[in-house]
């Protein structure tokens, strides 16, 4: 999908994309909800604005490629805040699209991979208190903290779950046992 007012640059870009077998849809100024199903989004950075996009800056759900004609500081700042994955300088000529597509896909995939890894690490960090509780529970049964930690690791492997999931199970079992004792 190309978000750009009708222009010779759009014609040249469309011709290159179609030549490599891609279907092209041009939109301006509204970006339809169907953009999320597109393989790539080309954006006219010279005239684009935040309200055209149904996502926050830096959170594009598809690889984005900036079409840059003006190197005005404000436009470059917008481009960087938006978080595009690749760029092409205007005027668009007879080449450059294929490399922009490859770079955009690789950058997008890396960005998504890093975001997923950060989310996973944040979840794991949030579960550290549960790990501490599980180790304390196991240590209360006459083990040292190191032994309790190794026991927790062994349980995770035996149950074929993550270390944090094993800790969740131990803490949950203690809470269940405590509820049964309190109500029994």
What residue ranges do the domains of the chain occupy?
Answer: 2-120, 127-183
Res. 174 pLDDT band, cuts 50 70 90: confident
CATH homologous superfamily for the domain 2-120? Response regulator (3.40.50.2300)
Q: What is the pTM of this model?
A: 0.75
- What's 127-183's CATH class? mainly alpha
pLDDT score of 24: 97
pLDDT score of 61: 96
- For the cut 70, the answer to whether the pLDDT of residue 149 exceeds it is yes
pLDDT score of 183: 64
Q: What is the pLDDT of residues 53-105, one digit of tens each?
A: 999 999 999 999 999 999 999 999 999 999 999 999 999 998 999 999 999 99
**Residues contacting 134, CB < 8 A, separation 6+:** 152, 166, 167, 168, 170, 171
Q: Is the dihedral of CA 145, 158, 160, 138 positive or negative?
A: negative
User: Taking the mean position of all CA atoms in its chain, how far away is CA 52?
Assistant: 20
Helix or strand holding residue 68 (H, E): strand 64-68
- For the cut 90, the answer to whether the pLDDT of residue 175 exceeds it is no
Give the least confident one: 25-29, 122-126, 146-150, 159-163. 122-126
- For the cut 80, the answer to whether the pLDDT of residue 180 exceeds it is no
């Amino acid at each position: 999908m190309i978000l750009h007012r009708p222009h010779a640059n759009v014609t040249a870009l469309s011709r290159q994309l179609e030549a490599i077998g891609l279907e092209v849809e041009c939109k301006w100024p509204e970006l339809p909800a169907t953009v999320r199903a597109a393989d790539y989004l080309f954006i006219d950075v010279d005239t684009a604005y935040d309200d055209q996009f149904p996502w926050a800056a830096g959170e594009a759900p598809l690889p984005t490629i900036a079409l840059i004609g003006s190197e005005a500081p404000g436009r470059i700042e917008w481009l960087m805040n938006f978080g595009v994955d690749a760029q092409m300088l205007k005027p668009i000529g007879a080449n450059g699209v294929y490399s922009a597509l490859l770079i955009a896909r690789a950058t997008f995939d890396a960005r998504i991979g890093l975001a997923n890894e950060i989310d996973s690490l944040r979840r794991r960090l949030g579960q550290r208190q549960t790990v501490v509780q599980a180790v304390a529970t196991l240590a209360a049964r006459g083990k040292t903290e190191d032994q309790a930690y190794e026991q927790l690791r062994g349980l995770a492997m035996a149950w074929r779950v993550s270390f944090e999931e094993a800790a969740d199970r131990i803490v949950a079992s203690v809470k269940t046992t405590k509820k049964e004792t309190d109500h029994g």
